[in-house]
């Protein structure tokens, strides 16, 4: 298949306009929080608004109909959407961000086929699951892949399964991409299926013995270090942009920092409304905004939200500088480089969580009942607390890297 030029609907669309369009969705996202959480994702109407706004194409290559914006622009958009509805931001982010993964590691031929006319969204299950077996010209994949956030809006799915080594060595994870016509999205998300992020579209995907052609797979270990690559990522040559350097661990975690910072802003909005409109318990003639303890909590949470935003942007700046050097002169991106960005982003995420939790605890019983904004935001941030990427394992690996101790994933 030969490549043909694909253009986005609005080639001159600027970064600021993309961010403004995301911010403009806030009113409808807030109005529909409850129904979207019950449904498990934000539904076809909002999906179409996001699609028409061009927001799915932010980090998609220009060659295939995207806007190929700096990753910091993508993070600004995520923050705006999370301020409207945290779970919508999670679903949107995990359906949109994998464009840079595919553009980094899959061959030009695969990208031509996968990106197609430019209407592309891709969810992922990063941890290996299911089974994969060699066959003529490719592989047969089978199994259920859980927590595929963004699945309801995705056109494709990226998964990984452990591939046996023909020479008797240990099995290795093989990444593959598959179009939505070849898998089933299971109805196992939404409502009480999870504590929080109920509208994140984190459904399971079932694949029933589907053939995956060889060129729709990628063997690279893409998370922490360029030293683990089989060779230079195809995306650097094809797209000539450090955005597609291919070590995705640091970039991925800054997305969580952006969502968490956005949730903190949403909680601050709800708490400020409470302070301006609810009477003080000790003096009903005055509003709660005149309570010094409420002022303290509001101020502290604002500081945490500010810091979460700033640290997220600082982390992506460092990450993209690593990518730029790798692109320009081949300077390796080390495991320690990535873990530095990773844990900075996790720290930003935790500051956003702390801001939300402070506001929830200070709000009062009436504003923590089921279905209130602060109750929703409190439940939502707990999903960061339990996520595998925020656990102490990564602190240990950072210490190991700093001490020069060996670890197979550090390269």
**CB-neighbour burial class of residue 155 (10 A; exposed 0-12, middle 13-18, buried 19+):** middle
CATH topology of domain 247-401: Butyryl-CoA Dehydrogenase, subunit A; domain 3 (1.20.140)
Q: What percent of the chain has pLDDT over 90?
A: 89
Angle value at C-alpha 201, between 260 and 19, nearest 5 degrees: 50
* C-alpha to C-alpha distances, 288 to 284, 296, 361, nearest whole angstrom: 9, 12, 15
pLDDT (0 to 100) of residue 2: 62
Q: What is the reported pLDDT for 394?
A: 92
Contact 61, 115 (CB under 8 A): yes
Closest Cα partner for 256 from 79, 395, 398, 102? 79
Asked if 54 contacts 18 with a C-beta cutoff of 8 angstroms, the reply is yes
| Residue 161, phi then psi, degrees to nearest 5 | -135, 155
So what CATH class is 122-220?
Answer: mainly beta
What is the dotted CATH code of the domain comprising 15-115?
A: 1.10.540.10
Instruction: List 287's β-bridge partners, or say none.
Output: 279
- Strand 138-149 with 131-135, pairing: antiparallel
pLDDT surpassing 90 at residue 7: no
Contact between residue 78 and residue 93 where contact means Cβ atoms under 8 Å apart: yes
User: What is residue 1's predicted lDDT score, i.e. its pLDDT?
Assistant: 60
Whether the model clears a pTM of 0.95, i.e. scores above it, the answer is: yes
**CB neighbours of 219 closer than 8 A, spacing ≥ 6?**
172, 174, 175, 230
pLDDT of residue 156: 98
203-235 pLDDT, tens digit each: 999 999 999 999 999 987 788 999 888 888 999
Question: Which residue in the block uniquely carries the two structure tokens 């500010």?
Answer: 306
Report residue 385's pLDDT band, with 50, 70 and 90 as the boundaries: very high
Mean pLDDT over 110-134 rounds to 96
Q: What is the pLDDT of residue 3?
A: 65
Please answer whether residues 263 and 380 qualify as being in contact, where contact means their C-beta atoms are separated by less than 8 angstroms.
yes
Segment 13-44, tens digit of pLDDT = 999 999 999 999 999 999 999 999 999 999 99
Between 172 and 309, name the one with better pLDDT: 309
Spans of all domains in the chain: 15-115, 122-220, 247-401
How far is 150 from 94, CA to CA, in rounded Å?
5
CA 243 to chain centre: 15
């Amino acid at each position: 298949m030969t490549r043909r030029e694909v253009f986005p609907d609005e080639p001159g669309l600027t970064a600021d306009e993309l961010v403004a369009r995301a911010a403009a969705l806030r009113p409808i996202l807030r109005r529909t929080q409850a129904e979207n959480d019950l449904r498990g994702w934000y539904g076809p109407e909002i999906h179409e608004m996001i699609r028409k706004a061009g927001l799915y194409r932010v980090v998609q290559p220009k060659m295939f109909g995207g806007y190929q914006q700096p990753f910091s622009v993508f993070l600004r958009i995520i923050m705006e959407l999370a301020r409207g509805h945290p779970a919508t931001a999670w679903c949107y982010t995990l359906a949109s961000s994998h464009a840079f993964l595919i553009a980094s590691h899959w061959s030009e031929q695969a990208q031509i086929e996968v990106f197609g006319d430019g209407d592309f969204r891709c969810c992922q299950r990063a941890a290996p699951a299911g089974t994969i077996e060699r066959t003529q010209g490719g592989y047969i994949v089978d199994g259920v892949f859980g927590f595929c956030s963004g699945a309801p809006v995705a056109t494709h799915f990226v998964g990984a399964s452990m591939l046996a080594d023909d020479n008797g060595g240990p099995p290795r994870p093989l990444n593959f991409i598959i179009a939505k016509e070849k898998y089933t999205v299971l109805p196992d998300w939404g409502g009480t299926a999870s504590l929080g992020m109920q509208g994140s579209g984190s459904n399971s995907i079932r694949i029933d013995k589907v053939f995956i052609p060889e060129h729709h797979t990628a063997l690279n270990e893409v998370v922490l270090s360029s030293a683990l690559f089989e060779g230079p990522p195809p995306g650097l040559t094809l797209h000539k942009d450090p955005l597609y350097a291919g070590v995705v661990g640091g970039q991925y975690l800054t997305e969580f920092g952006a969502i968490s910072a956005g949730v903190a802003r949403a909680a601050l909005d709800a708490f400020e409304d409470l302070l301006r409109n609810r009477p003080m318990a000790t003096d009903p003639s005055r509003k709660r905004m005149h309570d010094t303890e409420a002022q303290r909590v509001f101020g502290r949470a604002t500081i945490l939200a500010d810091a979460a935003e700033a640290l997220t942007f600082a982390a992506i700046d460092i990450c993209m500088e690593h990518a730029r050097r790798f692109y320009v002169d081949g300077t390796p991106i080390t495991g320690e480089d990535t873990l530095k960005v990773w844990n900075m982003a996790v720290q930003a995420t935790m500051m956003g969580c702390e801001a939300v939790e402070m506001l929830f605890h200070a709000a009062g019983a009436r504003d923590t009942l089921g279905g209130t904004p602060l109750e929703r935001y409190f439940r939502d941030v707990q999903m960061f607390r339990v996520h595998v990427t925020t656990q102490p394992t990564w602190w240990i690996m950072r210490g190991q890297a700093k001490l020069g101790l060996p670890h197979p994933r550090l390269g």
